[in-house]
Structure formats: C-alpha cells, structure tokens
Structure 1
Amino acid sequence: MSDQSSNQKKTNQFTIIKDDPNDGHDGYGIGSISLENMSSVIIDPNEDRAFVDMGAMHARSEVERRVKFQNDPDVVKDGKSYWIVWVTVEKGEIGPYFAGVAGSEIVVDRKIKRAYKSMPEHVKHMEKSLKGNIMVEHMDNHSKQLLRDFLADFEGGDMWKNSTDELKNALAA
C-alpha cells in the first residue's frame, strides 16, 4: 500500500525550475529549448479527473498507450476526448507560479485501439507554454474547470495564488 501511495505522489509532481544548463557555456547547445520546467497535465472529462503524467512528453501518457495514432480524426469519430495541457512553471519574486498553459486535444477510441492528435498543434502548444502564453480558450468549459481545480489545489495552491490574473480569468467558469 505504501509503494502505491509513494508512486502516486511521484507522478503528481510538477517539474520545478532547474538551473540553466547553458549558464557560463558558449557553443553547442546554445539556443536549444529546455523542457525542464514543463509538465504535462492530462484532463479526462469523461472520468472528471486531472493528473500529471510526464509520459505525455514522449507520447506515452496513460491515455496514449496501447493505441495507434491516425492522421484522420474521422477514424475516431466515436472516441473520447482528452486534453494534454502543457504547463510551464517559472519562479517569480514571491515563488513558483504557472507561467504558461496550453491545452492540446487528443481523441481515443479504445474499442478500435486508434487515436487522433495533431502533432504540429501539440508542438505549437508546447512552444507557446514555454514562452509563457495561456492558450485554453478552445477547451470545453468542463475541462477548463477540471484544470482550474487541479492547479488551484496543487500542493496547497501557492503556485496558483502566485499565477497571473490572465490564467485565472482564462480558466474562470
């Protein structure tokens, strides 16, 4: 039982900012993108839940496993929608906060073991999140509420309290 609870705790952690790997170094690697302060939050509106799943960084999240991705969304027209929300954490004057948040849809049909997601959209949303943008206007209200509740409750809510009004307003019901 304790193993299960410790595993649960490990998977529900945001990646907090690490030192800049390029500090003091010139040359190779300069200008590369670091994903060290980005985490992926899965929103499952079908089960009313939200959780951190770092497997999404490599298309191996809980909802992406054991399905074959298709380029045509019509293949999964009977599938269930999920959101992979790319959340970037920065450290401000009063502590860490949710700086960038961008949601990308994924549709999964478990019956036929097929799924659809737009890889260019996911990459674009990851980049937008890294740049501190808030992109959730295309998400349904129920999913935004699940995300809001998850972020507001995460580890006592301090990162939510430290976050911008733009984020809070974008996720307001």
Structure 2
Amino acid sequence: MSSDQSSNKKKSNAFTILKDDSTDGHGGYGAGTISLENMSPVIVDPNEDRAFVDMGAMHARSEIERRVKILPNRDEVPNGLLYWIVWVNVGRGENGPYYEGVAGSEIRVDRSIKRAYKSMPQHVTHMDKSLKGKIILDHMDDHSKKLLKDFLVDFNEEMWNNSTDELKQVLSE
C-alpha cells in the first residue's frame, strides 16, 4: 500500500459523525449523544472585514487555526489578531427554519510566532449553549457583530426574518 493510500485510510476512520436521533431507545452505539448536524461554525474576521462558514472549526481545523499551536493562555499571544468562531444552530419554527442558537467564541492568532489563544472550555460551552437555542454575543465588538449580521442576512434572509427578536436586537446594537 502506498503512503497516499494509507493516509487516506487513516482519514476515513478518524471520526464518525452520528446522524439522526441517537436516543431512539435502541441503547446501542451512540446512545445518549447529541446531533451536531444543524450546527455550523461561522468565522468572523474583523481584520479582513469578512465572515464565512468553515466546517473545519468543528474539529479545530478551521482556516484560522491551521499551522498554529493553540495555547490556553492569552498572555502568550500578546499580538494576536482577533477572530470569532460563532456557533450557529438552525432550528425549525412555525414559519420555517431560523437561526436558533448563536454563540461567539474568541480566538487570537499570531501567525508570526505560529501561536494562537483559544479557551477550549469557552468554545465547548458556547457550542452547547448554541445547541440549546441561546444567544451569546454581547461580548463581541460592534464591528464583528455587524459582519455576522450581514453574513446571516445574506446567507439566508428568510431564516434571518424568522429568527428571534433577541438575536436581531443583539446584532443591531
């Protein structure tokens, strides 16, 4: 087997995403797990005035996290550029799909030293809160919130219109 084939084989077995309702009572593999299939990580980059979906963030492999060592101490990345990984969960209401849970987590990246600051407990908590339909964006700067709002509206205006007044208010401040 060539090295290309063996690396492809490793990648295909690296992670299994469980879909559908794993709590249907069968009690087998995956019982009690949660589904992440309605969640998407949106990267907000206020440095370049852009926001985009990067599914790699689900496994700490987003564009901004690649080729840097993640550190848990902000002081070790004093010149890091600010980015946000915003965990967006889509729900379905009486009017159709909407942005149900939205929670932003800070990350600071300094490419010159190949280091980044990221609080893993904060990211996990914000993913969980997003899954539970919470809006946690008050700690984001106004420019980043505007980029996020513009992205969500442009991505799907109907979902934005169906979203809660709380989300619209937080992103309009």
SS at the partner of 1:153? helix
Q: Give 1:52's aligned residue.
A: 53
Bigger radius of gyration among the two: 2
Q: Give 1:164's aligned residue.
A: 164
| Cα distance in structure 2, aligned partners of 1:42 and 1:20 | 26
Q: Give 1:125's aligned residue.
A: 126
The AA in structure 1 aligned to 2:103 is A
| Cα distance in structure 1, aligned partners of 2:51 and 2:32 | 33
| Cα distance in structure 2, aligned partners of 1:118 and 1:24 | 34
Deviation at 1:168, TM superposition (A): 0.3
Deviation at 1:24, TM superposition (A): 4.2
| Cα distance in structure 2, aligned partners of 1:34 and 1:152 | 25
| Cα distance in structure 1, aligned partners of 2:79 and 2:56 | 25
SS at the partner of 1:31? coil
SS at the partner of 1:26? coil
The AA in structure 2 aligned to 1:163 is S
Deviation at 1:74, TM superposition (A): 1.0
Deviation at 1:94, TM superposition (A): 1.4
Q: Give 1:72's aligned residue.
A: 73
Q: Give 1:4's aligned residue.
A: none
Q: Give 1:139's aligned residue.
A: 140
| Cα distance in structure 1, aligned partners of 2:127 and 2:24 | 26
Question: Which is further off, 130-139 or 26-35?
Answer: 26-35
Structure 1 segments (4+ residues) deviating >2 Å: 19-26, 28-31
Deviation at 1:70, TM superposition (A): 1.3
| Cα distance in structure 1, aligned partners of 2:132 and 2:71 | 29
SS at the partner of 1:139? coil
Unaligned 5+ segments in structure 2 are 1-18
Identity over aligned pairs, percent: 68
| Cα distance in structure 2, aligned partners of 1:25 and 1:88 | 25
Q: Give 1:93's aligned residue.
A: 94
Does the CA-based 8 Å contact 2:101-2:129 persist in structure 1? yes
Q: What is the TM-score normalised by the length of structure 1? A: 0.85
Q: What is the TM-score normalised by the length of structure 2? A: 0.85
The CA deviation string for residues 56-78 of structure 1, in whole angstroms up to 9 with x for no partner, is 00000000000011122111111
Q: Which residues of 2 match residues 18-37 of structure 1 at below 5 A?
A: 20-22=20-22, 24-28=24-28, 29-37=30-38
SS at the partner of 1:60? coil
| Cα distance in structure 1, aligned partners of 2:31 and 2:23 | 10
Unaligned 5+ segments in structure 1 are 1-18
Does the CA-based 8 Å contact 2:23-2:31 persist in structure 1? no
| Cα distance in structure 2, aligned partners of 1:31 and 1:93 | 27
Q: Give 1:16's aligned residue.
A: none
> Number of residue pairs matched?
155
| Cα distance in structure 2, aligned partners of 1:137 and 1:93 | 27
| Cα distance in structure 2, aligned partners of 1:23 and 1:112 | 45
